[in-house]
Amino acid sequence: MPLVRRQARADGAALFEIVQGFVASQALVALVELDIFKRLRGGPKSAADLGQACDVAEPKMQVLLQSGAALGLLKRKRGGRYGLARKGAALLGVPGLEAMIRHHRAFYDDLKDPVALLRGDIAPTQLAEFWPYVFGARGDVDPDVAETYSDLMAQSQTLVAQDTLRAVSFKDVHHLMDVGGGTGAFLAAAGAANQTIEMTLFDLPEVAPGAATRFERAGMRERVTIASGSFRDDVLPIGADAISLVRVLYDHDDQTVAALLAKVFAALPEGGRLIVSEPMAGGVRPERAGDVYFAFYTMAMMTGRARSAEEIAALCAEAGFEKISSPTPARPFVTRVLTARKPAI
């Protein structure tokens, strides 16, 4: 039957996209690590020219460039030269994306035996080694590791901050505290968008110097208090009428999350607001970003998990919060936002 044949062909093509996905991602890694996108910013080049510049044989460079064109990242021009396509140019403009792609070597290594990962037979994983702060390390983290961690978090935080600020109004916020905010990328964005709010950054002492430098450069040093501590062990500072947890909860297990939410509740005044922003998974409508990428990523980190908005809402309710809401995210692959209020007695 023609209709059945068309559906079967469409299903076959969709299945092949899944099967070949790992090859596409590795081709992207090669394009990034060889700086192909940056080399093409000045205009189209041939496989011979790029091969010579990258120390890759011309026939193999031709394969890589053709794959980039097939993925919609490059365009094949007349004469066999290659230039940037719209998506390839866009990749260069997304803060932190190239750094994240390079960092994926660790994630790919953990996924080389996905069944072993599911069964818990890999310990420690590469991602667990890369993200040391998730385990509550204090004072014993190599400075180079701390810098790498902080830089990657800050770069990838830009898009998260954009979507969070679009989803949440800060008009009634006088003092915002960002817990686990690293070197302050989210607070810097929030402060730029809301010129009158005071801010507090609460995170481990290892990231404080980087945060101080960021706020100084942004002209916000007088508006921001940097409070060093661990939300695992220390009481949160009081005084903020809004507290944000940006990409924090999915790094931790339910017990740690419940304890943190209880501390946030205690630190907020009556009517104070909680803002949670992170990718979510496990909802009634599965989607690729949360239920494939972030679900496996957090599994490889070995501590937390990507939760649904409903699960996070339930944890917030247990901590005492009310008026919990989570609007439909603009870009689920970037973040989803949930807000809640401490009751006014």
CA 193 vs CA 169, 171, 187, 189, 196: distances in Å: 10, 10, 10, 6, 9
Q: Of the given ranges (57-61, 121-125, 177-181, 246-250), which has the lowest mean pLDDT?
A: 121-125
- Given a contact cutoff of 8 angstroms between Cβ atoms, the answer to whether 112 and 126 are in contact is no
Strand order in the sheet with 322-325: 224-228, 198-203, 175-179, 242-246, 273-278, 336-341, 322-325
pTM for the full predicted model: 0.85
Percent of the chain with pLDDT over 90: 71
Whether the predicted pLDDT of 154 surpasses 70: no
pLDDT on residue 132: 55
SS3 247: coil
Structure tokens at 59: 């026939």
Residue linked to tokens 């979507």: 163
Neighbours of 185 (CB within 10 A): 25
pLDDT tens sequence across 76-90: 998 899 999 999 999
**What confidence tens digit (pLDDT) does each residue in 191-203 have?**
999 999 999 999 9
> According to the model, what pLDDT value does residue 180 have?
92
Identify the CA nearest to 73 among candidates 128, 36, 108, 122: 36
> For the chain, how big is the Rg over CA atoms in Å?
22
Mean pLDDT of the chain: 90
Q: Which amino acid is at 177?
A: M
Q: What is the pLDDT of residue 150?
A: 56
Please report the beta strands in 77-152, taking only residues with DSSP state E, as ranges in sequence order: 82-84
Q: How would you classify the pairing of strands 322-325 and 336-341?
A: antiparallel
The amino acid occupying position 59 is P
3-state secondary structure of 255: helix
Residue 119, classified by CB atoms within 10 Å of its CB into exposed (0-12), middle (13-18) or buried (19+), is exposed
Above 90 in pLDDT, residue 66? yes
Domains of the chain, CATH where assigned:
2-93 (1.10.10.10), 98-341 (3.40.50.150)
pLDDT of amino acid 139:
43
Task: Label residue 339 by pLDDT band (50, 70, 90).
Answer: very high
pLDDT at residue 207 tops 70: yes
- CA dist 274 and 174 (Å) reads 14
Q: 3-state class of 177 per DSSP?
A: strand
Q: Enumerate residues 6+ apart whose C-beta is below 8 A from 342.
A: 265, 268, 269, 270, 271, 272, 273, 274, 320, 321, 322
Give residue 93's pLDDT.
85
The pLDDT of 317-330, averaged and rounded, is 96
Residue environment code for 308-324, b if the CB has 16+ CB neighbours within 10 A, otherwise e: bbebbbebbeebebeeb
